[in-house]
Amino acid sequence: MSTRAAVLYVCVDRGRQASDLPAERAIEEGRAFADGRGLPLLETITDPYGEPDPRRRKGWQRVCEMAVCGEITDVVTRWPAAVAPESHHHLRFREAEALGEYGVTIRYSWEPLAELKAAAP
């Protein structure tokens, strides 16, 4: 792939009130992040929060398919817990390494992490 292209991945806890606000914020922030870095977003993919293993989520499976097919160079997500919760943080590294084999980088749109990229240890 000669040009950069990204997918926005959203997997957030809706909280006690089952509000859509966390997802809306993640989408808004992710789009602004991508726009600010000249990353065209091909798709916004969402998953319900709760399954700790990203490989068991339909949306994450779609992200991986796009990586394997060479459709994307970047995955934009709000923070590491969107990929896997803190209790399963090792799964984040597994996914970063797997996507990296296809030249795909996980990038975080939340400002304190915006300059970081996910990487395997």
Instruction: Please check whether residue 119 lies inside any domain of the structure.
Output: no
- pLDDT score, position 65: 98
Instruction: Please check whether residue 61 lies inside any domain of the structure.
Output: yes
Instruction: Please check whether residue 1 lies inside any domain of the structure.
Output: no
User: 10-residue block means of pLDDT along the chain (121 residues)?
Assistant: 87 67 89 95 94 97 98 95 93 96 94 64 48
- pLDDT score, position 45: 97
User: pTM of the prediction?
Assistant: 0.87
State the total domains in the chain.
1
Instruction: Please check whether residue 120 lies inside any domain of the structure.
Output: no
Full residue range of the structural domain in which residue 45 is found: 6-113
Beta-strand pair 105-108/74-77: parallel
Instruction: Please check whether residue 78 lies inside any domain of the structure.
Output: yes
CATH number at residue 89: 3.40.50.1390
Any alpha helices (H) in 1-121, and if so which ranges?
21-36, 58-68, 90-100
Which residues are registered as beta bridge partners of 75?
Answer: 7, 106
Instruction: Please check whether residue 69 lies inside any domain of the structure.
Output: yes
